[in-house]
Amino acid sequence: MRLDSEPAFVLHARAWRETSLLVEVLSANHGRVGLLARGLRGPRSHPLRAALQPLQSIRFDAVQRGELAQLRAAEALDAAPRLAGDAMMAGFYLNELALRLTQRDDPQPDLFTAYARTRERLRAGEPLAWTLRRFERDLLDALGLGFEWNVDGDGEPIDPAARYRLDPEHGPRRVLSDRGQADRSGAATGRGLIDLGADRQPADVDLPGLRRVLRSVLAHHLGARGLKSWEMLAGLKTPGSGLVRDQE
């Protein structure tokens, strides 16, 4: 199968044998695609390498035979966001989530759109916590794993004043007040869930709870092996940074 002028975002690139790269991209029409880019590594710099950096928007031509497609040509469609610090870690997190929760050659047009929006929010310097919660929500929705955010798993309206956990299979479950503070601390406010569903930025006090419950759902679908980005953030010595609070 030929892939001609296919728009995509680069998720990851790594060395493959002596002179090649194995590049994972999220494409507009074919979902995640593994590209084998031959002859790009060596003593002389190859112009294609600059177009195959993570977060880069590209258009590529390839021929697919088996699991991997042979890259024939690629060009950058814009300049990738220049991120540093917490924003750079957020970009790494987006790419790792997309890599781990998608299958190759499974079209995901809604995820492609959500990724594009999130990439521009990172470029614009929008608040990281809210940017990441929106992407996590949209990722789950695109994969058919999302929820209704204004009702709980039993179809009852979400109470803004109550607290909820997210059951990966059932949806929001209300946390009863007599379960104790420790149990409630791992929950999100009903107000935060409603705001998330309405795509309305929650109050700062509601964002940590949304992070915790969404992470629990993502961890369920990721399985026993978590994310490297979670491990990296847990090892940072700067617990006061916004992204560490957001991800830990």
The mean per-residue pLDDT over the stretch 191-198 comes to 98
Q: Can you give the pLDDT at residue 45?
A: 52
**Domain 85-247 indexed as CATH 1.20.1440.120:** yes
Q: How many CB atoms lie within 10 A of CB 45?
A: 10
pTM: 0.90
Q: For residue 49, what are its two tokens?
A: 């390498």
What CA–CA distance (Å, rounded) separates 60 from 53?
14
DSSP at 235: T
pLDDT of residue 242 exceeding 60: no
The sign one gets for the Cα dihedral 139, 101, 86, 192 is positive
Q: Which residues contact 176 (CB under 8 A, 6 or more apart)?
A: none
Parse the chain into domains and list their residue ranges. Answer: 2-76, 85-247
pLDDT digits (tens, 9 = 90+) for 195-217: 999 999 999 999 999 999 999 99
What CA–CA distance (Å, rounded) separates 46 from 109?
31
pLDDT digits (tens, 9 = 90+) for 53-67: 999 999 999 999 888
Residues forming a β-bridge with 188: 164
Q: Do domains 2-76 and 85-247 have the same CATH topology?
A: no
CATH number of 2-76: 2.40.50.140
Residue 142 burial class via C-beta count within 10 angstroms: exposed 0-12, middle 13-18, buried 19 and up: buried
Instruction: Answer whether 78's CB lies under 8 Å from 89's CB.
Output: no
Q: Can you give the pLDDT at residue 248?
A: 37
Q: Can you give the pLDDT at residue 232?
A: 83
Percent of the residues in the chain that have a pLDDT greater than 70, as a whole number? 88
What CA–CA distance (Å, rounded) separates 158 from 156?
6
Q: For residue 219, what are its two tokens?
A: 């961890």
